[in-house]
Chain A
Amino acid sequence: MVETEPPGFGSTQDRPPGATSDEGAAQMLQLTDIRRDYRIGPVTTEILRGVDLAVGAGDLMSIMGPSGSGKTTLMNIIGLLDRPTSGRYVLDGRDVSKLADDDLAMLRNAHIGFVFQSFQLLPRLTAVENVSLPLVYRGTNRAEMRRRALAALERVGMGERTGHRPDQLSGGQKQRVAIARALVGEPAVVLADEPTGALDGATAREVMALLASLNAEHKVTILIITHDPGVARQCARQVRIHEGTLVERTAGAPGASGAAAARHPASGTEETEEDPGASSAPPAIDPNPAREPTSRRDDTGEILNPAAPT
């Protein structure tokens, strides 16, 4: 499934010159002119006004914006919890913008790993049971489910506390369990919504470091939605959302494409949330500043994939 070449997209997508077709095709998700309106009575409120976004396999990307900017709505759409009013959303080679509810549930299960600000663990279940949950809805047998859940907990450094319930865990530990749950199904993309929002500074740094290392070492594609510039800066790619539109501002991503950035050791292993990791890196092929404020749907590939314009 993951290897499938996105039909209809491979051709329109400009690729970095040196990339093999395999890498170039690995565009995990591609949003084109996504709009989302809410209609309350006669009043229509536009939350998303034409969002274009491409996330490559192995990207570590942040979407930053103040509350009310539409980032939650965007995340719900990317996470297949909500459907756009119009626009095209291709996830792992499949157009998912018009699917039925059940299909979306199956796709969420297979392709999306959620990490929430408030952890959203089921209080009655132990860590390992919480982590197993996505596999339940996939029909994995119990032994395999347990094996994979334990492996996922091991990966996030929670191998010692698998039998604990959420109320026996600290905030940071809960978020690690939640990350393990997001990873257990080997999703195409991990969507983290304010993953450090409920954590204190030190713990927040640990969690960010974990996400970064997962991205660097295991090539997990991670999309972090945040309002915290410190968090955003640790991501190789950064976009801002403002009044329903996206603005790419990858200041210091070392690689051109997300995939390249992820492979670069420096971007994945940054230890501080401060400048050095991000801004001291050599400026990449920068997004055209002239276009920045109006970065809209016109030339999808070019703007959203920084590698393209060269």
Chain B
Amino acid sequence: MLKIIKLKRGLNIKLKGEPEKIFGAAEKPVKYALKPTDFIGLTPKLVVQEGDKVKIGSPLFLDKNKPEIKFVSPVSGTISAINRGEKRKLLSIVVAPDYADDYIKHDVDDLEKMTREQIINVILESGAFPFFIQRPYGIIANPNDVPKAVFVSCFDSSPLAVDYDFALQYDAEYLKKGIKVLSKLTNGNVNFGISKKMLGSTIFNTEFLNVQNITINVFDGKHPAGNVGVQISHVNPISKGDIVWTIKPQHVVMLGKLFEKGIYDANKVVVLAGSRVERPCYFRLHAGAAISVFSNQIKKESEKENRIISGSVLSGAQISDDDYIGFYDDQICVIPEGKYNELLGWARPLRMKKFSMSHSYFSWIMPNKKYNLDTNYNGSPRAFVMNGQYEKVLPMNIYPVYLLKAILANDIDKMEQLGIYEVIEEDLALCEFVCTSKIDVQEILRSGINSMIQEMS
């Protein structure tokens, strides 16, 4: 019998526009892009020029500090644009596809016969290495490290998220292969976190149990129970000096395909969701697809602005309508912008259209109501006044406000002591959501992690 880890703290925010469990037919994207800005802390080194022909899996840029880490094209075609921002910062490398599906082939042997080094080399060479995000810091892993464990969260508990059980239903074989690859990468455990709801009916369960070296942890709780950071902290918390690798389920499938077929296949499942989407559902696309393919799916009314988010509404990044799906994201959310003034909003007794965890409004009366939330702050920023709020939505043994204050004071020792190694932005995203003082928790946390990286390097 599996042990169920029950998480009491957390919050499920129910939003309108949850994806229906069907695959929609999207038009073929005419552009794909790889965005160096998706990779935190990366200094990219461009290796292609405008007009170059690329295959699926051809490197577009490298990590300047670790050139063995390659970032490759998701499709075959021609480099049609290289976009730069301020100070010539590389923003995106755009590929116009030729739909030829011309792959770069990698030599893969039987996994059992390959050494860890050989496996890592294939992963590096194929461009799959950026799949691995390390904790602490939430940056691309270092290929020279041997992680003490690998963690995969098989469910996303954030609002409007992908249900991997549905999304990966046809990929069970690749998933299994991918898991075998993972088990070769660490001396410790490969940990899979599944939700209590997934017990029994899921593709994950039966597949996993056949593979050695795998631990399945069952989590029962509200968001952020599906965050890999939360799962790590309950299974094998990160102490100073520890390194853990994390990878998303879809990337495990891609890893499986790499070692099954020898190719970098960037095909993945993405959900288009949110209250401003005509018919929210799942799509099969290649990573980096231009989201303009969804333009006819997004509601347009002249008086209402939309916000398109690559990633979750709690911790994703705003993108424009001619932008591309983020490398790690499998969720595009479209919600209304909240640029309006609300007369005496805070004094309105009901405000039924708004959601609050606090009982000072009345959303507690209808726990199943779905909300059409917009991007308004619903208040103005203040100093920390209330206490105990963040703790209610953070199921980790961390004092978030003390950590944030240590970051604001730039006290490296205190940050370390208060557990900065254990969290990244998404873990504290709900704290930002519930904050009475409207403090930009995630921004502060990232600045703390950045100073930590600088200090330790």
Q: A and B bound? A: no
B interface residues (Cβ-Cβ under 8 A, vs A)? none
A interface residues (Cβ-Cβ under 8 A, vs B)? none
